[in-house]
Amino acid sequence: MITGQGIVKTFKQRGNILGSREVRALRGVDFAIPKGGAASFIGESGCGKTTLGRIIAGLESYDEGELVIGDTAMSELKHKQRQPHFRKIQLIHQDPYSALNPTRTIHQTLHAPLSLRAKQTGRSKKWIEERAAEVLSLVGLDAGTVLARYPHQLSGGMRQRVVIARALTVDPEMLVADEAVSMIDVSLRLGILALLKDLRERLGVSVLFITHDVATARYIGGDGELYVIYRGQVVERGPVDTVIADPVHPYTQSLLSAIPVLHGLEQPGEQPVVPLEPLDQLLDDTGCLFTGRCPFRGERCAGERPLLQVTEGVPQEHACFYPERRSVIARPLSEV
Amino acid sequence: MPEQAPGVRIDGLTVVYKTAAGELPAVRDISLTLEPGTITGIVGESGSGKSTLALSLLNAVQPPGRIAAGSVEIDGLGDVVGLRGEELRKARGRHVGYVFQAAQNSLNPLKTVGKQLLDLGRSHGVEDLRGLVREAKELLGRMGLDGARVLDSHQHELSGGMRQRVGIMLALVLNAHLVVLDEPTTALDMITQANILKIVREVHAERGLTTLVITHDIGVVAEVADRLAVMYGGRLVEQGPTREVLGAPSHPYTRGLIKAIPRLVGDIDEAQALPGRPPTLTSVPDQGCVFRDRCPLRMDVCDTVDPAAVPLGSRIVACHAVNVKEHA
């Protein structure tokens, strides 16, 4: 179980003589990812989802709040003591081209973390070789053909599999996949997604999936929770299928309305929500963060910030004063 | 200058790249017609030859690549494959507007958008530069931007969606009526993508354009295109009206691609990955069907004979298995 409570992160941008600017990347985010479970963070770029993923993987600090891995609160530990905890959480980047050292063969890439583990646990050299072959077979690669190669000799899909294999060398409890398939060819994407799903089922590794593509989130973590993040705040949270089928927050509705409709196979939703064009001056920090772009804003929205809450008749949590179900997603023609 | 949407007829186009292993075809024997006033979408994975095909419309394939065979006839211009030097330079921009992949990287970071606009005008001998600026502002305003502000901005001051709109403006401002958009929404967010696609559709209709959209994302084509053409390994494997192709794909590759898209409703496990991986320039088989290694309908003839593109009703499909079934 990995939980976060009220995580706040502010980046200070070096400014000019008039002072520096602060970017509030996360404004008090709560989350919980059960062991072996799945969660998906979705939102536009700049919403803070990647920062949150990096904090969870231990690559970024946070200013307020608490991150708890297992039973241990991270803020109580010194840097060195945290490391074994964060080792259980491995990050899979978007770009498998830059995530692998181009001057090292796959063998060398996998050997480094494995030999460290062998040293720590007193295992033999033979174990290293066996384990390297094992993690490669877990990700669907053949050790014989891959080990001696350099990253540039592999396709994008194979490279991403190697990155996942490398993450598995340390027996992680959770994989944080940050846009892990967006740079992979379309016909190969589903293969990588199926692999992550398979690792969840077979090894009990939990998966945190960070993406702007809601449908892929559904594929990997269909039984988990979906967190919709806007400007550093979770605006809607609930079981994946509930949030997709019956979103109540206008931002979630805008995101889902923007997904291309496969005309010929699908019929668009009846009430698509198109957000207003953001004007810089409207992006202030009082009130609801989405007010400036919200087509349904009401009286309370400008002066008061809605917090994530449960209201009657809505199964998921949401941060909107005027939650309302709207039919936004496309449905297959076969169902209409 | 053509005031109407031009038609484009690509016939038997082959583009080869010189490599250590000899000249290899990135685009092989492709025939495709863009009817005046339509939006055509070309879908393909990386290495399928879709960008090379798009560059051929400008006769802009760079060495070590060259157009080895075929013709690209554009109404009002003739065969662009035969154009050279000044003629070719003038045709680009005036007749054919091109919005490059990652418009964010195709702008000069040192100059304001306005200065780049003036450069464009001067290099094409536009006398009325004030008129050009007015036209640019109008176009930007049409796309929901503050024209004056954008022209005064450097590219780093603009968001991804804004830069993409600047790219579209630069492609249209010289009044080109044939526009090629190469991956217009890659690296953009969902909401911005939806905005850009809406703009593409509207501008296409208002200005009377013939538009070609190149993408790896079937969803993008589904949203904007009247006709859909699917490329694989340098070949055009299927083309036809978008709705028909999506509703009932004929070629096994098209079928596999559509099946590999996870959807928002229904049984998520219906999404199935395509086995194998797409060929690269060096691994494309030199005889037989390019898709046979991943094909569920593979027959003996596929190993030796490259299937010809055959009309099937409103579609053109290049597949032995589909043709056999149709004629049985």
B185 contacts on A by Cβ (under 8 Å) = none
Residue B22's pLDDT is 87
- For residues A176 and A66, membership in a common domain is answered with yes
Cβ separation B262–A190 shorter than 8 A: yes
B277 contacts on A by Cβ (under 8 Å) = 155, 157-158, 185, 187-188
Asked, for residue A192, whether it belongs to a domain, the answer is no
Q: Which of B64, B61, B63, B56 is nearest to B34 (CA)?
A: B56
Average pLDDT over residues B259-281: 87
CA distance B173 to chain A (A): 24
B223 contacts on A by Cβ (under 8 Å) = 260-261, 263
Asked, for residue A191, whether it belongs to a domain, the answer is no
B243 contacts on A by Cβ (under 8 Å) = 263-264
Asked, for residue A70, whether it belongs to a domain, the answer is yes
Average pLDDT over residues B259-269: 88
Residue A18's pLDDT is 65
Q: Which residue has the higher pLDDT, A209 or A155?
A: A209
- For residues A238 and A320, membership in a common domain is answered with no
Residue A282's pLDDT is 47
Of B46, B257, B264, the CB nearest to A214: B264
Q: Which of A335, A304, A309, A334 is nearest to A323 (CA)?
A: A309
CA distance A183 to chain B (A): 10
- What tokens appear for A332 in the block? 């297959």
Cβ separation B260–A214 shorter than 8 A: no
**H or E element that contains B150:** helix B147-151
| Measured CA distances, B314 to A144, B30, B210, B317 (Å) | 48, 18, 20, 10
In terms of residue numbers, what domain contains A163? Answer: 102-171
- For residues A151 and A178, membership in a common domain is answered with no
- For residues A67 and A177, membership in a common domain is answered with yes
Choice among A235-239, B74-78, B188-192 with the minimum mean pLDDT: B188-192
Using CA atoms, how far apart are residues A300 and A288, in angstroms rounded to an integer? 9
- For residues A39 and A84, membership in a common domain is answered with yes
Cβ separation B260–A193 shorter than 8 A: no
Say yes or no: B261 contacts chain A, CB-CB below 8 A. Answer: yes
Within 8 A by CB and 6+ apart from A333, the residues are A264, A265, A266, A267, B247
What CATH number does the domain containing A212 carry? 3.40.50.300
Cβ separation A258–B190 shorter than 8 A: yes
Residue A246's pLDDT is 93
Asked, for residue A189, whether it belongs to a domain, the answer is no
Asked, for residue A194, whether it belongs to a domain, the answer is no
Using CA atoms, how far apart are residues B47 and A191, in angstroms rounded to an integer? 19
pLDDT at B314 over 50: yes
pLDDT at B144 over 90: no
Percent of chain A past pLDDT 90, that is, above it, reads 68
Q: How do residues A323-334 score in pLDDT, each as one tens digit? A: 999 999 999 888
Whole-number mean pLDDT of chain B?
90
Using CA atoms, how far apart are residues B85 and A112, in angstroms rounded to an integer? 55
Asked, for residue A318, whether it belongs to a domain, the answer is yes
Residue A210's pLDDT is 94
Using CA atoms, how far apart are residues B55 and B43, in angstroms rounded to an integer? 15
- For residues A164 and A219, membership in a common domain is answered with no
Using CA atoms, how far apart are residues A107 and A146, in angstroms rounded to an integer? 8
B211 close to B181: Cβ distance less than 8 angstroms: yes
Residue A16's pLDDT is 67
Lateral strand order in the sheet of A72-73: A19-33, A2-16, A64-69, A72-73
Cβ separation A218–B264 shorter than 8 A: yes
CB proximity under 8 Å: A 24-53 to B: 44-45
Please state the domain count of chain A.
3
- What ipTM was assigned to the predicted interfaces of this complex? 0.86
B262 contacts on A by Cβ (under 8 Å) = 190, 193, 215-216, 218-219
Residue B1's pLDDT is 45
**H or E element that contains B169:** helix B160-172
- For residues A57 and A155, membership in a common domain is answered with no
pLDDT band at A278 (very low <50, low <70, confident <90, very high): low
Q: What share of chain B is helix, strand, coil (3-state, %, to 5)?
A: 40, 25, 40
- For residues A61 and A176, membership in a common domain is answered with yes
Q: How do residues A17-34 score in pLDDT, each as one tens digit? A: 666 778 889 999 999 999
Residue B37's pLDDT is 95
Residue A281's pLDDT is 46
- For residues A180 and A73, membership in a common domain is answered with yes
Residue B255: burial class (beta carbons within 10 Å; 0-12, 13-18, 19+): middle
Q: How do residues B146-164 score in pLDDT, each as one tens digit? A: 999 999 999 888 888 888 8
Average pLDDT over residues B217-231: 94
**What 3 state SS string does chain A have?**
CEEEEEEEEEEEEEEECCEEEEEEEEEEEEEEECCCCEEEEECCCCCCHHHHHHHHCCCCCCCEEEEEECCEEHHHCCHHHHHHHHCCEEEECCCCCCCCCCCCCHHHHHHHHHHHHHHHHCCCHHHHHHHHHHHHHHCCCCHHHHCCCCHHHCCHHHHHHHHHHHHHCCCCCEEEEECCCCCCCHHHHHHHHHHHHHHHHHHCCEEEEEECCHHHHHHHHCCCEEEEEECCEEEEEEEHHHHHHCCCCHHHHHHHHCCCCCECCEECCCCCCCCCCCCHHHCCCCCCCCHHHCCCCCCCCCCCCCCCECCCCCCCEECCCCCCCCCCCCEEHHHC
Percent of chain B past pLDDT 70, that is, above it, reads 98
Average pLDDT over residues A62-79: 92
pLDDT at A284 over 70: no
- For residues A227 and A255, membership in a common domain is answered with no
- For residues A82 and A177, membership in a common domain is answered with yes
Cβ separation B260–A187 shorter than 8 A: yes
Strands B178-182 and B210-215: parallel
Q: How do residues A87-143 score in pLDDT, each as one tens digit? A: 999 999 888 888 999 999 999 999 999 999 899 889 999 999 999 999 999 999 999
A157 contacts on B by Cβ (under 8 Å) = 277
- For residues A128 and A80, membership in a common domain is answered with no
Average pLDDT over residues B67-83: 93
The rounded Cα B213 to chain-centroid distance in angstroms is 4
Say yes or no: A183 contacts chain B, CB-CB below 8 A. Answer: no
- The domains located in chain B, with CATH, are 8-95+176-192+204-280 (3.40.50.300), 108-175 (no CATH)
pLDDT band at A220 (very low <50, low <70, confident <90, very high): confident
Asked, for residue A120, whether it belongs to a domain, the answer is yes
Asked, for residue A46, whether it belongs to a domain, the answer is yes
